[in-house]
Structure 1
Amino acid sequence: MTRAAVLPGMLASNVGAVPAEVGAVVGTFSEICTVSETSTVSELGAGAVRMAYWGLSPTEDGCTLVLSRVARRSGRAVAGSEIAGLMRDDSRALTRLLPPFAAATLHDDAVTMVADSMGFRQLFHSDPQSPGAGTLSTSALLAGWARGAQLDRTAVAVQSLLGWQLGQRTLFDGILKLAPAAIARLGVDGVSLAEVAPAPAEPISLDRAVSEAAAILRASVEALLDDQPDAVLQLTGGLDSRLLLSAVPVSRRRGLHAMTLSVPGSGDVAIAGEIASRFGIEHEVRGLTDLGGLDPEEGWELCRDAAFRLDGMSDPVALAALGVAERGFTQGVRISGLGGEVARGFYYVGRVRDRPYTRADAEKLAAWRMFVNEAVEPGLLTADFADWGREAANAEVYAALRRGGDEWFRATDALYLRDRMQRWAGATDTAVGYRRVVVNPMLEPDFLGLSARLTPQDKAHARFLATLQLELDPELGRLPLEGRPSPAAYAQPSLWDPVAQTLHTGQRLARKAIQRARRGNRPPAGGDVLAQKVVQWWRREPHTLDPLGATDFVSANWLQDMLAGTIEPRPSSVGFLTNLIVATGGPQPDRSAGSS
């Protein structure tokens, strides 16, 4: 077996020594990355509070670690020396840097750790109310193992249905994710948190929001290209990447680098190719690698590696399949448009008007929009846990909505930003953040702030983003999107638009109804083949599943039937079990010393 990856990172403790689990994992499972090619664990501090780190180099002050490769604000890069100074004098200012960003420092016998405004760079801490040693870390797995933590059953239930986490839970009881814009401090007395609740959003008109958003994107994208002229735009047939291209002056588009991943059934390549040809963009297209010839052992290693990178809290099958496809692309600086859904009401369905909501609304949203694609199949969990787990997960969805306020559409916007983006997109971005630098101008705090200030009616049906597209580049705004009309059609709807939107909503609901009736979900691109390889490995080496024996919620009968070949599990089930195996297996010795 090859070594699974541990990302460069840190773990701080207040018990006077680096927990043995840190050395066991980092020394055995090492990530070869651009930051460092060593798996050595270094340590700062001489008293009770210590900070161990690996794969990173402190800034000039010798005690500050920049925990992300993205460090930008207001259209410029921020140097490590400036970050170190702010960590000492004004750490709150660092929460305004472009996500993903994080930093930690050891000063005055305490470790301070800072999260970005979205909590996008994943950071973790022990619950201040939990007994035992205090812990801060870039890895929930390491933090949980260091404390000998048990699984959080509510978190397991949520993940079995949703595929990722809500709020600040992790798979481990007593280990929490650091909240957006929060600052954690670990001293001899334990962990303390300084959190900031989102400020009430002052309303803004659509015209003003479009004007200000256009200025933000233009300044951010141009500054990035000034700093990184070889940056590559991730160009699709969708609206987000087109907005970012539109923020590039026409005079700078010729010779711009762009990439598109070709996925069967998608029209991204044709649309991206047409746009690239129109402006003289250097366009690279790669297809999904045929995984049919992959050895089952390598398939398992790829998924196990991905689970480590994701801290067991998102889909390792999807990440592993993407990683194979990415082998064909240069791993440099990327310009990404992920996150535009925040500005167009991802969870909106039906007529958009202000209204209150109940738990029944939350459960309907969960059943029809949230639990469909990533849920494990019936029978994998014991009947008692499955019944209890659905109730627990529904309660967590409702609680997440309540954190977003009393109005339904604004609450769903907050759910998307503070939960789905933070815990799903952020986990994936963190997992790849040391292989390639992904810069996303649409995550600028000021851009997201404009979105929060718009009414749901202005965001619905992509009205805001489509109008922004016309402001940035009307020519591109008249070209159709992949599988959808042009942005101009959304910005300037016809009299028939309400009818078309009703038809579109009905089609979406019909597809979801069929999916639920078939009790199936949608596998990630390449995920079905990769999941089959993993299952083949489990059947060849059933001892791989031994860590699941420590749980009382995975059905032993289902596992036996799966190993016997009478059940072919969904990719979502394979991903869920892979995460559990990694989380419950703890730091394991490398079976093949010297492998790479």
Structure 2
Amino acid sequence: MKDFLAVSCAPHAADSLRGVVDQALGVLRDDEAGVVRVDQAEDGWVAFAGSDPGDLLAEPGAGFTVRLNRAARTPERDVPTAELAGMITGGGDLTSLLPPFAAAHRQRAGAPVVVAGDWLGFRQIYWWQGDGVAAVSTSARTLAVLAGGRLDPVGLGAQAMIGWQVGTLTIFENVRALPPATIATLDGGSLRQRRYADPPDRPDRAPALDDAVDEMAQILNRWQSNYLEDHPDTILQLTGGHDSRILLAAIPAKLRTGLAALTLGSPTSPDVRIAARLSARYGLRHEVYRLDQQRPPTPREAHTLALAAARQLECQASPLALAPLLLAEAHLDQGHRLGGLGGEVARGFYYAGQPTGATASGHLVERLARWRLFSNEAVEAKALTEDFRIRAQETTLASLKELFPAGDWLRATDDFYLYHRMYRWAGLHGTVAAVRRHYINPMFDRRFIELALAVAPADKRNSLLLGRLMTRLDSELASVPLDSGLTPARLGTRSVVTRLATGTATARKAAEKVRQRLTHGRKAQLGAAEMGALVLAHWRAEPQVCRALYDMPILRHDWLDDLLAGAPAEPTTVAFLVNLLAASDQTTAR
């Protein structure tokens, strides 16, 4: 099932909800999936959208079990939908299921509705509790209608400052994301949350690097062997970077020959050139999909596509980054796909410029925020009213300071990037993929993540851990340079040559970051600048389509006037405006 809404209400709330539930269902069905059916009873509603062959639906109003993404997989096998009910209600090992994953279940007519998310919270699920009414949904926008249709100033502030959400915030008032490893139970107009697993353990003493590498390699080998034996038609998303290379290295040689590999980009891009070289060497069937090989959208089409992308992201990440990918994916097989995303916690790329041995503090959080988090996807300051900009910065910094755990600073950054950036940013994009295809990333195996967290930060800095892991998996593959020019085999050593190479790369990135800070530049994702330019062209030709932006008190009206008259805007700012437009049908700002 692609989308889902369950509303539970006490007797005193049922009548007052009927009209607003109809409005909420209208939001749920505005997606391409379409509502399959709505089960209504005296104590609430359950709506299903975008059916899947594995769904178990009895007659309307009776019991059901539905997956809320395509795949349900352990390291050894696919898990049938029929087994999920027992795992959710009987204390089964939900941590063995690979994120992203979620499922909804009701045992029989009149029984509570139970929704379980994955241990990382990667599959985004949302909840809301009102007076005598509670709801859970795959759509934050749908819940916003039930919640009264107001935007949350703290969530808006985080969106404006960093381009995504932290903690359980959304941009909608009183609508929150379901935390990791949580089961939500709806009954009698109330919602109960139960955490079924603690965060992965971190031992008192870090494991020896080579011991961790050996176990991590075994985990990936097991995943790749079992999955490709079961699904030989799987496509490997292959780039010139480290994570997808590690997934290739973990595939046994006998399973590589004839394996399909996919790369997005132009023939001259480093990703395509390196992926093509690897494919030729190991007998992969390499397909390159060029983003420019399809007819470019008109400005009107780009505007429509950007709004659709914003809705799929629940207005909480850049629709301009997703829209070009949606165009490409419309032409690609949506079956089984292996993708590498999640090496951040094993790579520690965010350690650059951070002090070793320091203790987490508000000062260090603020420095990281201003140096990195506020510089990549932030809205241009001149687009926002001064009051909102100042308040957004203050509230976002306060939120961030609450989220960083005490103790070693580098380990605290590990936790933040895993439990917040991966959970709330990568999870949004992963959710879009997971409802369309069997999206498998073995690097989200819980034990793999436990090991990555346990390894000492010094053993992860400058990709030492991943370089050694690549060498352990396939020493020949580790000798091929990455798109950065660095060689994994060398990264896995502490030689003088490696220190010089990584030092040069770090200095180059630091210089780019300084230049970005000095010029107030933003870091746009692939295709976002071109999509943003088309959206702006449509707004300027038909300004009535963005008239709702003038109802947003957080935006400067004189800046909007200049924008529509032809003044430039960063893609990150246009993305924020598109999200506001997509949210404006359900909400009002304050």
Aligned to 2:582: 582
Equivalent runs, 1:54-203 vs 2, <5 Å:
54-56=49-51, 58-59=55-56, 62-90=63-91, 93-107=93-107, 109-127=111-129, 131=131, 133-195=133-195, 196-202=197-203, 203=206
Amino acid of the structure 1 residue aligned with 2:56: T
SS in 2 for 1:77: coil
Aligned to 1:41: 37
Contact 1:137 1:143 survives alignment (8 Å): yes
Contact 2:6 2:44 survives alignment (8 Å): no
Task: Measure the CA separation in 1 of the matches of 2:186 and 2:260.
Answer: 44
Displacement of 1:182: 1.0
Under a length normalisation based on structure 2, what TM-score does the superposition of the two structures give? Answer: 0.92
Displacement of 1:264: 8.1
Q: Deviations over 1:492-513 (max 9, x none)?
A: 2312444444433322221111
- Alpha carbons of structure 1 residues 351 and 525: separation in structure 2 relative to 1, 3 Å: closer
Q: Deviations over 1:112-163 (max 9, x none)?
A: 1111011010001115xx5462111111010111221411111111111211
Amino acid of the structure 1 residue aligned with 2:456: T
Aligned to 1:249: 252
Task: Measure the CA separation in 1 of the matches of 2:522 and 2:528.
Answer: 12
Displacement of 1:49: 3.8
Contact 1:550 1:584 survives alignment (8 Å): no
Task: Measure the CA separation in 1 of the matches of 2:480 and 2:131.
Answer: 59
- Alpha carbons of structure 1 residues 522 and 199: separation in structure 2 relative to 1, 3 Å: closer
Tell me which of 360, 375, 390 is aligned to 1:357: 360
Aligned to 1:591: none
SS in 1 for 2:247: helix
Task: Measure the CA separation in 2 of the matches of 1:8 and 1:87.
Answer: 19
Task: Measure the CA separation in 2 of the matches of 1:580 and 1:351.
Answer: 34
Displacement of 1:319: 0.2
Displacement of 1:265: 7.2
Task: Measure the CA separation in 1 of the matches of 2:354 and 2:546.
Answer: 48
- Alpha carbons of structure 1 residues 153 and 30: separation in structure 2 relative to 1, 3 Å: closer
Aligned to 1:508: 509
Contact 2:8 2:189 survives alignment (8 Å): no
Tell me which of 237, 241, 256 is aligned to 2:240: 237
- Alpha carbons of structure 1 residues 576 and 510: separation in structure 2 relative to 1, 3 Å: same
Task: Measure the CA separation in 2 of the matches of 1:269 and 1:280.
Answer: 16
Displacement of 1:278: 0.8
Aligned to 2:349: 346
SS in 1 for 2:345: helix
Q: Deviations over 1:500-546 (max 9, x none)?
A: 44433322221111111111112222211211111121122222223
Task: Measure the CA separation in 2 of the matches of 1:309 and 1:189.
Answer: 27
Displacement of 1:554: 1.1
Contact 1:10 1:137 survives alignment (8 Å): yes
Task: Report which stretch shifted further, 492-501 or 245-254.
Answer: 492-501
Equivalent runs, 1:326-475 vs 2, <5 Å:
326-350=329-353, 353-402=356-405, 405-475=406-476
Is 1:50 the counterpart of 2:45? The answer is: yes
Task: Measure the CA separation in 1 of the matches of 2:295 and 2:388.
Answer: 35
Task: Measure the CA separation in 1 of the matches of 2:123 and 2:508.
Answer: 36
SS in 2 for 1:72: coil
Amino acid of the structure 2 residue aligned with 1:485: L
Contact 1:343 1:451 survives alignment (8 Å): yes
Displacement of 1:89: 1.7
Long gaps (5+) in structure 2: none
Task: Measure the CA separation in 2 of the matches of 1:500 and 1:216.
Answer: 30
Aligned to 1:547: 548
Equivalent runs, 1:320-331 vs 2, <5 Å:
320-331=323-334
Amino acid of the structure 2 residue aligned with 1:184: A
Under a length normalisation based on structure 1, what TM-score does the superposition of the two structures give? Answer: 0.91
Q: Deviations over 1:250-300 (max 9, x none)?
A: 122110110111258741111111111111110001222268852111000
Q: Deviations over 1:382-401 (max 9, x none)?
A: 01111121121122222222
Aligned to 1:521: 522
Contact 2:104 2:115 survives alignment (8 Å): yes
Aligned to 1:593: none
Displacement of 1:189: 4.5
- Alpha carbons of structure 1 residues 424 and 556: separation in structure 2 relative to 1, 3 Å: same
Long gaps (5+) in structure 1: 1-5, 33-37, 589-596
Task: Measure the CA separation in 2 of the matches of 1:534 and 1:133.
Answer: 39
Q: Deviations over 1:100-123 (max 9, x none)?
A: 100111246321111101101000
Task: Measure the CA separation in 2 of the matches of 1:481 and 1:310.
Answer: 31
Equivalent runs, 1:200-349 vs 2, <5 Å:
200-202=201-203, 203-263=206-266, 266-289=269-292, 293-349=296-352
Aligned to 2:488: 487
Contact 1:289 1:324 survives alignment (8 Å): no
Contact 2:37 2:47 survives alignment (8 Å): yes
Task: Measure the CA separation in 2 of the matches of 1:580 and 1:265.
Answer: 36
Displacement of 1:56: 2.8
Percent identical among aligned pairs is 36
Amino acid of the structure 1 residue aligned with 2:342: G
- Alpha carbons of structure 1 residues 331 and 200: separation in structure 2 relative to 1, 3 Å: closer
Flag as ranges the 4+ runs of structure 1 deviating above 6 A.
none
Contact 2:471 2:478 survives alignment (8 Å): yes
Amino acid of the structure 2 residue aligned with 1:582: A
Q: Deviations over 1:336-393 (max 9, x none)?
A: 0111111111310247632213222111111111111211112111011111211211
Displacement of 1:576: 0.5
Aligned to 1:35: none
SS in 2 for 1:379: helix
Displacement of 1:176: 0.7
Contact 2:28 2:139 survives alignment (8 Å): no
- Alpha carbons of structure 1 residues 531 and 375: separation in structure 2 relative to 1, 3 Å: same
Task: Measure the CA separation in 2 of the matches of 1:188 and 1:40.
Answer: 25
Task: Report which stretch shifted further, 18-27 or 365-374.
Answer: 18-27
Task: Measure the CA separation in 2 of the matches of 1:20 and 1:358.
Answer: 47
Would you say how many aligned residue pairs link Structure 1 and Structure 2?
570
- Alpha carbons of structure 1 residues 300 and 480: separation in structure 2 relative to 1, 3 Å: same
Contact 1:237 1:272 survives alignment (8 Å): yes
Task: Measure the CA separation in 2 of the matches of 1:436 and 1:587.
Answer: 31
Amino acid of the structure 2 residue aligned with 1:54: A
SS in 1 for 2:404: helix
Displacement of 1:547: 2.8
Task: Measure the CA separation in 2 of the matches of 1:90 and 1:327.
Answer: 39
Aligned to 1:11: 6
Task: Measure the CA separation in 1 of the matches of 2:260 and 2:306.
Answer: 30
Task: Measure the CA separation in 1 of the matches of 2:157 and 2:294.
Answer: 31
Aligned to 2:561: 560
Contact 1:349 1:505 survives alignment (8 Å): yes
SS in 2 for 1:42: strand
Contact 2:149 2:586 survives alignment (8 Å): no
SS in 2 for 1:416: helix
Amino acid of the structure 1 residue aligned with 2:370: A
Aligned to 2:538: 537
Aligned to 1:592: none
Q: What is the aligned-residue RMSD (CA, Å)? A: 2.2
Task: Measure the CA separation in 2 of the matches of 1:492 and 1:233.
Answer: 28
Amino acid of the structure 2 residue aligned with 1:125: W
Contact 1:67 1:102 survives alignment (8 Å): yes
Displacement of 1:42: 2.2
